[in-house]
Amino acid sequence: MDKPRKILNLKFLNIEKEGGKLGCFLILVAIFSIFLGLLFIQLTMPLILKTSKEIRIPDITGITLNQARTMLELEGLDMRISGEEYSETVPSGVVISQNPLPNTSIKFNRIVEVIVSKGTEKVKIPFVKGLLVSNATDILLKVGIVISETTYVFDNNYVENVVIGTEPPANSYISKGGMVTLYVSKGKIENYVQIPNLNGLPSDSALIIVSKFLKHLNLKIDTLKGKKENLYVFKQFPDSGQYLRKGDTLKIILKGK
């Protein structure tokens, strides 16, 4: 009878030992769970509070994309490019506009959409050499190029009023609305005569020079005489050094002393 009682006592002893170990384990698990809970609350509560408040959107227009993105991220906001536009005033890669607008309020982690500048729109200068000046002008205007100046030069290869080139040259790129100089042929130089300086000469001397030098070139002479005697050349059109086409008219204004 004594032996079974001893075995029973041993079993009860093992149960007590195992129960003590289990209790300690459960206490440790409970402490660790409390620690994790406190850590979770500490880490997540600021985020929860932040997401619940309104954030004032900074003004990101007029700065680069990278600068705008950094500024928004510091406020807890995200950025998305919703479009690109050409701009004559805003450089390429700079924010033109934003949505929502600056100084309005939105929730944390919301998206701010931006329009980004593509810079000035570029156009390719078309090849207009060999065209009549009127046709070349129409073509240039249609692609958004303005003719700032038309310069007429002598050229033995092209007849009058035909384009012989542009500056900047064809196939180069300029800003849309930019300006070019159009060079147009005046024809061969032998079809023109360079006008001598007649200003200040007595009328008789001037007319002799004109008659001898210009008459064989088929130039017409138009003189406006004053009422006084001792007339001299007061003005001439065109001025000296300029060219007149053969058959055109040289005008002389005479004035009395």
Fold of 193-256: Trypsin Inhibitor V; Chain A (3.30.10)
Exposed / middle / buried, residue 25 (Cβ in 10 Å: 0-12, 13-18, 19+):
exposed
Task: Tell me the per-residue pLDDT of 126-137, one tens digit each, with 9 for 90 and over.
Answer: 999 999 999 999
- Mention every residue, 6+ apart, whose C-beta is less than 8 A from residue 121: 86, 144, 175, 176
Delimit the domains of the chain by residue range: 1-52, 55-117, 122-187, 193-256
Mean pLDDT, all residues of the chain: 82
- DSSP E strands in 93-229: the ranges are 95-99, 105-107, 111-117, 122-124, 146-153, 163-167, 173-175, 179-185, 192-194, 220-224
Task: Tell me the per-residue pLDDT of 172-211, one tens digit each, with 9 for 90 and over.
Answer: 999 999 999 999 999 999 888 888 888 888 877 777 776 6
pLDDT tier, 12 (very low <50, low <70, confident <90, very high otherwise): very low
For domain 55-117, give the CATH number.
Answer: 3.30.10.20
Stronger pLDDT, 121 or 248, i.e. the higher one: 121
Do 55-117 and 193-256 come out as alike in CATH topology? yes
Global pTM? 0.57
184 alpha carbon, distance to own chain's centre: 30
**Statement: residue 60 has pLDDT above 50:** yes
**Statement: residue 11 has pLDDT above 60:** no
For domain 122-187, give the CATH number.
Answer: 3.30.10.20
How many C-beta atoms surround the C-beta of residue 103 within 10 A?
A: 9
pLDDT tier, 214 (very low <50, low <70, confident <90, very high otherwise): low
